[in-house]
Each structure stands twice: as structure tokens, then as C-alpha cells.
Amino acid sequence: MLWIKSLHVIAMVAWFAGLFYLPRLFVYHVDCADEAGRRRFEIMERRLYRAIMTPAAVVTVLAGLALLVDYAWAAYSKAGWLHAKLTLVALLVVYHWLCGRYLAALRDGRNTHSARFFRVFNELPTLVLVAVVCLTIVKPF
């Protein structure tokens, strides 16, 4: 099970790297004035989302579920911290999905959000990461 836990942590780090970087690319994309630059951002965003973020998210969730099924649920099923963590992970999946929607909107010229919006949007995964790590390590309730 330690191999699964290692895989879970590695995939989680890769997923968060993408969750931190993709919205920052959106900021630059919105501020970009030339067509060649916009095309470059579209390629970078698409590759990050499809080749790194989405596979990392799938591995994170699947490895987490394996850990949950193997021993965590029996040990912690009544622990509030685990339910809070799972809720935050579900919110991260929604955030990931929203990133995909914003990526498509930027690509198709349908974006209605400002660079400022994406700067604020970019901070949300940091807050979730802090909460998830604290819940997992400290197990406060």
C-alpha cells in the first residue's frame, strides 16, 4: 500500500502543478494582443490540460480511492476530517472541469472573463491545498 500512497502523492503534486499553472496561462492568454501569441497559449493550455493535468487527476483520484478502500475507510469512516477532505477533493474535480471550460472558451473566442478574474481564480487551489494537507496531517476532528 505504500507504493499506492507514493503514486497518490506524486500524481497529486503533478495535478496541483497544473492547477496552479493553467489559470496563470489564462491570465497571459487574455492579456495577449497578437494572434501568434494567442495560438501559442492555446497549444500550451491544451497540452497542459490533456497531457498532464487530466491524467494526474485521474491517477490521484484512483489511487486515493484505492487507499480509501484498502484501509482508510475502515479506520476513519466516522472521522470528520476525512469527509471534509473528500469534499474538498470533489471541489477540486469541479475546479479542474471549470479549467477545461475556460480553456475551450478562450480557444473558441467565447471568453467573457478578465485577466483579473483569472488571477483570483488562480488562488483557489492554493487554499484547498493548504486545507487538504492540514486535514490529512493534523486530523483535527
Mean of pLDDT values over 52-73:
93
pLDDT-derived band at 61 (thresholds 50, 70, 90) equals: very high
Question: pLDDT per residue over 70-87, tens digit each?
Answer: 887 878 888 999 999 999
Helix (H, G, I), strand (E, B) or coil at 46: helix
Judge residue 26's burial from the number of C-beta atoms within 10 Å of its C-beta, 0-12 exposed, 13-18 middle, 19 or more buried. buried
Cα–Cα distance between 124 and 94 in angstroms, integer? 12
Say if residue 96 carries a ligand binding annotation. Answer: no
Amino acid symbol at 71: Y
Say if residue 8 carries a ligand binding annotation. Answer: yes
- Residue (of 55, 138, 61) closest to 92 by Cα position: 61
